[in-house]
Amino acid sequence: MSIVAALLGALVVTIWLVLLFGRARWWRAAERDEERLPEPPAWPDVVAVVPARDEAAVVGRAVASLVAQDYPGTFRVIVVDDGSADATAAIAAGAGATVVRAAPLADGWTGKLAAVAQGIAAAGEPHFVWLTDADIAHAPDTLRRLVARALAEDRVLVSHMALLRTDSAAERALVPAFVWFFMLLFPFARVARPGPIAAAAGGVMLVDRAALARVGGIAAIRGALIDDCALARLMKTQGAIRLTLTRRSVSLRPYPRFADVGAMIARSAYAQLGYSPLLLAGTLAGLAVTFVAPPLLAVLAGGAPRFAGIAAWAMMSAAFQPILRYYRRSPAWGAAVPLIAVFYGWYTLVSAVQFGRGRGGQWKGRSQAALT
């Protein structure tokens, strides 16, 4: 028996035992928005702010879902048109939103955050600002639930991770893993507790406007490419935050090809690593050991290393089952986790290469990672 194989087998089993039982059982996908919370005696004012750039295909449905909210308090919808070359502004206005034209993009700002900042400035002084995207549609009770949770639990930020599409073959193969890897990086249970782990999902974020103003507003994170998590870190300095899964908000944006999902990953993966070559190398090595080594040991090794590889592969497949059930995918996808991890690792490398070429953070014709 090779010493290297024996050590690798012991390592992969240890890694998966720690991941399963040492990170707040993130894999259970248990943090959801399903419980009913007490409604407040008075409903505070809320303004939804929607940044939009060339979103004519989806903005009408997104705005219509906002206008249709059954919220008992005062509620308005502002769409900030970020230099769209299509009919985004006209469609948003026709659906019932107030449309604000974004000013030319200033140095040091990402386009989305500049639009969000201008939308918040136009909102006045509501108690809460609901930050959402032009490609997200919401059930009519979404805002009531967000506000009820924020007030009942005294949170300065409440975020829901919208249900992503799983219509195309690429989406069915890769989208559940996107959410799964996010939960691994940011266990939702730990996000809700005091401590350094903070995260949010940009499609649904209810923000206490006064708390945001106290830390400098959106300008404090103006160059952030992963803006939702940057906002979560900022808001957690002011109070408690919460992130849950939801089926009430759904993404309208399709990813019909594997390359489209890859582009989504590449847009921000290297930013998540702080644009660090050392962290990139460590991440790719970690992916290889954690996800690729177990099946290689199971197939190529013998004796105890083979059983260790099988055990680690079984553990990762089992950990994938709750998010597969949530997305109503076949449990057989659990065996494919190593291949899915290779795909994500490859596009993390692509993200770094794009940044090195001055094309990082590609979105709607802008290379926004070059700003940082």
Global pTM exceeds 0.85: yes
Q: Give the DSSP per-residue string, 289-328.
A: IIIIHHHHHHHH--HHHHHHHHHHHHHHHHHHHHHHHHTT
Q: What is the pLDDT of residue 35?
A: 87
Q: With H, G, I as helix, E, B as strand and everything else as coil, classify residue 75.
A: strand
Q: Any residues with CB less than 8 A from the CB of 300 and at least 6 apart, and which?
A: none
In the chain the domains, ranked by start, together with CATH numbers, are 3-26+258-371 (no CATH), 31-251 (3.90.550.10)
Cα–Cα dist 209/217, whole Å:
8
What is the residue whose two structure tokens read 């708390």? 211
> What's the pLDDT score for residue 363?
62
Q: Would you tell me how many other CB atoms lie within 10 Å of the CB of residue 239?
A: 13
Beta-strand relationship, 46-52 and 75-81: parallel
For the chain, percent helix, then strand, then coil, each to nearest 5?
55, 15, 30
Per-residue tens of pLDDT for the chain, all 372 residues: 589 999 999 999 999 999 999 999 999 999 999 888 999 999 999 999 999 999 999 999 999 999 999 999 999 999 999 999 999 999 999 999 999 999 999 999 998 999 999 999 999 999 999 999 999 999 999 999 999 999 999 999 999 999 999 999 999 999 999 999 999 999 999 999 999 999 999 999 999 999 999 999 999 999 998 999 999 999 999 999 999 999 999 999 999 999 999 999 999 899 899 999 999 999 999 999 999 999 999 999 999 999 999 999 999 999 999 999 999 999 999 999 999 999 999 999 999 999 888 776 666 665 566 544
pLDDT value of position 372:
46
**Distances in whole angstroms, Cα of residue 8 to Cα of each of 61, 279, 303:** 51, 21, 13
What are the DSSP E strand ranges found in the chain? 46-52, 75-81, 98-101, 128-132, 136-138, 155-163, 204-208, 240-251, 362-363, 366-367
**Terminal CA-CA length for the chain:** 49
Structural tokens at position 314: 């079984």
Sequence-ordered list of residues with C-beta below 8 angstroms from that of 366, at least 6 positions apart, any chain: 110, 111
